[in-house]
């Protein structure tokens, strides 16, 4: 989908990083019960609602189960044609391995890509369009900000894609973002759900308590 107002001009994709084992949770985090379904479906809802033509989901730990869940979600919601699953062989190397695999799978014409974390189930639907509008010439990426804290998802411009290949460890693109200075567009929001990720059962209970 192209954004015709100020912001990204050209095709946008979504990346959902869903390859981790969830060890701090005790394993099986993305398939934990959530709102009558499972946790990853919260992130998928926001990902498929984003202004993007393709959703690339990177799977690794319990990959077949997660992939089946993702496919079933896409079919139920009539968006299976936008879905692409990518298996991350080196998922144990951390978020950077998943991000590299997903970026490598993007269509060549992709102008920018949202990066969602699969364990963040309450991303507001209005955040991705705001990020797309903020990625104007002179900015390489856009990110939501709550009182000085940077959240998710992040929107990476295509100029950063070649740099993703050099990332290592479990911090994803955060090192890249820290080096951008004024070229990182910060989009203010009061919604702290852009910071809320589920690492433990207690965090899952906190997220569930925020459902109206």
pLDDT digits (tens, 9 = 90+) for 54-84: 999 999 988 999 999 999 999 999 999 999 9
Q: Is residue 4 part of a domain?
A: no
Q: Is residue 176 part of a domain?
A: yes
Predicted local distance difference test score (pLDDT) of residue 169 = 77
What's the whole-number mean pLDDT along residues 124-131? 96
Find the domain containing 149 and state its range: 12-209
Q: What is the DSSP letter of 3?
A: -
Q: Is residue 85 part of a domain?
A: yes
Q: Is residue 70 part of a domain?
A: yes
Q: Is residue 2 part of a domain?
A: no
Q: Is residue 175 part of a domain?
A: yes
The CATH number linked to 170 is 3.90.550.10
Q: Is residue 120 part of a domain?
A: yes
The number of domains in the chain is 1
Predicted local distance difference test score (pLDDT) of residue 2 = 44
pLDDT digits (tens, 9 = 90+) for 39-53: 999 999 999 999 999
- pTM of the complete model: 0.93
Q: Is residue 184 part of a domain?
A: yes
pLDDT digits (tens, 9 = 90+) for 11-29: 999 999 999 888 888 888 9
Q: How far is CA 105 from the centre of its chain?
A: 15
Q: How many CB atoms lie within 10 A of CB 148?
A: 7
């Amino acid at each position: 989908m192209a954004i015709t107002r100020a912001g990204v001009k050209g095709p946008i994709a979504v990346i959902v990083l869903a390859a981790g084992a969830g060890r701090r949770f005790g394993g099986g985090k993305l398939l934990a019960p959530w709102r009558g379904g499972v946790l990853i479906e919260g992130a998928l809802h926001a990902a498929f609602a984003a202004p993007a033509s393709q959703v690339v989901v990177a799977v690794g730990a319990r990959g077949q189960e997660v992939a089946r869940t993702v496919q079933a979600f896409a079919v139920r919601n009539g968006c299976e044609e936008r879905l692409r699953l990518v298996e991350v062989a080196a998922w144990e190397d951390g978020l950077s391995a998943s991000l590299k695999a997903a970026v490598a799978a993007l269509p060549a014409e992709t102008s920018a890509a949202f990066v969602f974390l699969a364990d963040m189930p309450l991303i507001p639907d209005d955040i991705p369009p705001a990020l797309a509008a903020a990625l104007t010439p002179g900015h390489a990426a856009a990110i939501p900000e709550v009182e000085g804290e940077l959240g998710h998802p992040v929107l990476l411009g295509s100029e950063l894609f070649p740099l993703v290949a050099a990332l290592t460890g479990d911090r994803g693109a955060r090192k890249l973002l820290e080096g951008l200075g004024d070229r990182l567009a910060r989009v203010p929001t009061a919604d702290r759900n852009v910071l809320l990720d589920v690492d433990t059962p207690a965090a899952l209970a906190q997220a569930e308590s925020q459902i109206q």
